[in-house]
Amino acid sequence: MRTMKAIQIRQYKNADDFTPRDVPIPEIKDGEVLVRVRYAGINPSDLANTQGYFPDHTILPHIIGRDFAGKVVQGRSSLLGKTVTQRATE
């Protein structure tokens, strides 16, 4: 199984344990792409998420870090190698 590093919350707790873990690389579905993340950031909503403020919208385990930049490595051929940036809006 191929893995990647991610900060994953498995239960709600204080936001002081941001230890990267090995987690499986997700399998993409039709219409999706896989992005190799080069840079990621944690914003205030991620911190609130780790403390359980969004239980109706979060399925555990959950990978935090919605702000990121990277390159498409799997998916539609016309998108391979394209730079992707995602900034979460509050």
**Of the candidates 82, 87, 88, the residue with the CA atom closest to the CA atom of residue 35:** 82
**Structural domain total, the chain:** 1
Domain limits at 24?
A: 3-86
Query: How many whole angstroms from its chain centre is CA 67?
Result: 8
Inform me whether the pLDDT recorded for 14 exceeds 70.
Answer: no
Please tell me the predicted confidence (pLDDT) of residue 16. 60
Model pLDDT for residues 40-82, shown as the tens digit of each residue: 998 888 888 888 898 888 888 889 888 999 999 999 999 999 9
CATH number of the domain bearing residue 26: 3.90.180.10
How many Å apart are CA 59 and CA 9, to the nearest integer? 10
> Would you say residue 90 has pLDDT above 60?
no
Three-state SS at 16: coil
**Nearest-angstrom CA–CA distance, 41 and 31:** 25
Q: Report if pTM > 0.75.
A: yes
User: With pLDDT > 70 as the criterion, what percentage of the chain qualifies?
Assistant: 93
